[in-house]
Amino acid sequence: MLDNEAVCLYALGERVYATQDRCPHGNASLSEGYIEDCLIECPLHQGLFDIETGKPKGPPVTTDLKCYEVKVNDGTVYLRTAGP
Amino acid sequence: MDTPTTCSNVGRQNPVESPVHIERRWPADGYTRIPYWVYTDAAVFQKEMDVFFAGNTWNYLGLDCEVPEVGCYKRNWIGTRPVIMVRTENGEIAVLENRCAHRGAQICWQNTGKVNDFTCPYHQWNYDLNGNLQGLPFKRGVMGKGGMPRDFDPKQHGIRKLRSVNRGGTIWATFSDEAPTFEEYCGPEVLAEIDQVFPGKKLTLLGYTRQLIPSNWKMYIENLKDPYHATLLHTFYITFGLWRADSKSENYPIPNSGHSVMISHNEGKKVTEATPEMQRFRTDLEMLDRETVTPKKEFNGGRVGGAWVFPAAAVGIQANTLKTRHVIPRSPTEHELVFTYYGYEDDDEDMTRRRLKQANLLGPAGFVSMDDSEMLTQCQIGATGYPHEAGIIEMGGRDTERTDYMVSEVLIRGFYRYYIEAMGF
């Protein structure tokens, strides 16, 4: 949880990504979904998002996910919540 | 019609095969008689749903102004089948079955509204505005277990979209791939009536009245095709001159179809030789606010009435009130009646007020229409008690030729002439 909003973390190869966890379409948790290449598929209605950019990539989703800038330092994951 | 007839015509409404077999014999006098079992028999009702509503007919859905924006929908019924008309992303109107592909639940439970897409409340299967299945929960199972078979293809499990058409802002649909075009289906006379009151101007929705009438749906249709009763039953019409036995009028059944056109001319309150015949003419009644019964001159030049578009809709104008009527059969002995009132975008405030005010004649508490729903209730009680008896439809003769006078049952005969053949009696 971050600022009262659930966050979903993804490990793609060596890199870690973070987006909002709540699917904007059907109120489902993306962390229960499926990763295919660099896409996350929502478990409820199979909407697809690009994990890196948050862009919708397949229906029924039409709005962007909020993405967080990620830094991994010594095994700890940090997210940027506001500008520098 | 003692021997079942096969329909050999190649006209605009070829009957559809129905698996329902009916052991009934139509009276020997043909379409001048209506056996009362047509108003009570469950098998007859089911066959009507199959042959007419689900067959090669075009059915009324609504007005395009009822769904002004993308995602706006209206729920309706074609016979007993629930359907949805919805404005899709490209701005066109689609007509969908209101039935989840999964378990059959209505995906849309409200009469009108606006959505981004449709989600069935039962298992949350989700469809786009064209009825395509977009996704379903747990397609891949939970915690690696279960889920739909790998070859389950959402593209094969969408909601059926019906053929539909927009004519001057009225939306119609058919379940049949074989039905002719809407224009062919209506024919020139009915189409002319639709075009007169829906000339392509932008429409404004003014409101609805809805009511449940405890009678067979055909009784309502027959009532609309029966100007004879209007001159006798409706005190309000007779006294205030909107519809009288001596009004100039035209009735024409459209051959080889269930359609008809009925036209009359507003002539105002008057006393003629025919007046003493009208027992319900009340010289002692005077309306202080005459506006309710005084149409303002407009495009129709006092010509009122309209067309019945088989099976279950009518369009037309009464005084200045523009409206559609839609009959929704619920069971052999029950139907719902919906009036939709509308105007034109270029109506001024005064005309809009008149269209609404004169609508007080119609609907469940209408000065005129309330007589009809009460009368149909009484007819159903009689028919239910005596299904082996038959009604007599001989006013104005035994034929189905068009008439230029009011007191005739020709339109009912024309309807049953078509009905007997289409139903295979």
pLDDT score of B235? 82
- Whether A72 is in a domain gets the answer yes
Whether A47 and B135 lie within 8 Å, measured CB to CB: yes
For residue B198, give the CATH number of its domain.
Answer: 3.90.380.10
- Whether A2 is in a domain gets the answer no
Residues B143 and B197 grouped into a single domain: no
Cβ–Cβ contact A60 with B under 8 A: yes
pLDDT at A41 over 50: yes
pLDDT score of B15? 53
- Whether B150 is in a domain gets the answer yes
CB A42 within 8 A of CB A35: no
User: Could you tell me which residue, B7 or B257, shows the higher pLDDT?
Assistant: B257
- Whether B3 is in a domain gets the answer no
Separation in Å, CA A49 to CA A40, A63, B13, B138, B271: 5, 9, 50, 18, 77
Q: pLDDT category, A45, cuts 50, 70, 90?
A: very high
Token reading at B264: 């009359």
Give the span between the Cα atoms of B335 and B74, in whole angstroms: 19
- Whether B26 is in a domain gets the answer no
Name every chain B residue with its beta carbon within 8 A of the beta carbon of A60.
Answer: 116-117, 126, 128, 134-135
Range of the domain at A34: 7-80
Q: Around Cβ B78, how many Cβ atoms within 10 Å?
A: 27
- Whether B271 is in a domain gets the answer yes
Give the span between the Cα atoms of B250 and B305, in whole angstroms: 10
Residues B367 and B410 grouped into a single domain: yes
Residues B291 and B413 grouped into a single domain: yes
For residue B69, give the CATH number of its domain.
Answer: 2.102.10.10
Count of domains for chain B: 2
- Whether B40 is in a domain gets the answer no
Cβ–Cβ contact A81 with B under 8 A: no
pLDDT score of B244? 62
- Among A11-15, B34-38, B103-107, the minimum mean pLDDT is found in A11-15
Whether A60 and B126 lie within 8 Å, measured CB to CB: yes
CA atoms within 13 A on the CB side of A7: 20
pLDDT at B285 over 80: no
pLDDT at B3 over 60: no
Residues B156 and B208 grouped into a single domain: no
Arithmetic mean of pLDDT, B19-37: 92
Arithmetic mean of pLDDT, A39-49: 92
Whether A42 and B140 lie within 8 Å, measured CB to CB: no
Arithmetic mean of pLDDT, B188-194: 97
- Whether A1 is in a domain gets the answer no
Looking at the DSSP bridge assignments, the partners of residue B382 are none
Dihedral sign (CA B45, B258, B181, B85):
negative
Residues B69 and B115 grouped into a single domain: yes
Reference A51, options A83, A3, A16, A79; nearest CA is A16
pLDDT score of B85? 98
Q: Which of A32, A42, A46 should we substitute to test contact with B (largest number of B Cβ atoms within 10 Å)?
A: A46
pLDDT at B178 over 90: yes
pLDDT at B376 over 70: yes
In chain A, the residue whose alpha carbon lies closest to the alpha carbon of B142 is A32
Residues B263 and B316 grouped into a single domain: yes
Give the span between the Cα atoms of B353 and B376, in whole angstroms: 31
- What is the gyration radius of the CA atoms in chain B, in angstroms? 23
Whether A46 and B135 lie within 8 Å, measured CB to CB: yes
Give the span between the Cα atoms of B372 and B237, in whole angstroms: 12
- Whether A69 is in a domain gets the answer yes
Residues B81 and B113 grouped into a single domain: yes
Whether A45 and B126 lie within 8 Å, measured CB to CB: yes
Range of the domain at B209: 187-423
pLDDT score of B2? 41
Arithmetic mean of pLDDT, B371-386: 96
Name every chain A residue with its beta carbon within 8 A of the beta carbon of B124.
Answer: 26, 44-45
Q: What is the mean pLDDT of chain B?
A: 90
pLDDT score of B267? 63
For residue A19, give the CATH number of its domain.
Answer: 2.102.10.10
Q: Which of B140, B148, B152 should we substitute to test contact with A (largest number of A Cβ atoms within 10 Å)?
A: B140
pLDDT score of B389? 96
Arithmetic mean of pLDDT, B18-46: 93
pLDDT score of B91? 96
Quick check: ipTM above 0.90? no
Residues B64 and B149 grouped into a single domain: yes
Indicate whether this model's pTM tops 0.90.
no
- pLDDT tens column, B127-175: 999 999 999 998 888 877 889 998 999 999 999 999 999 999 999 999 9
Count of domains for chain A: 1
Q: pLDDT category, B5, cuts 50, 70, 90?
A: very low
- Whether A24 is in a domain gets the answer yes
- Whether B46 is in a domain gets the answer no
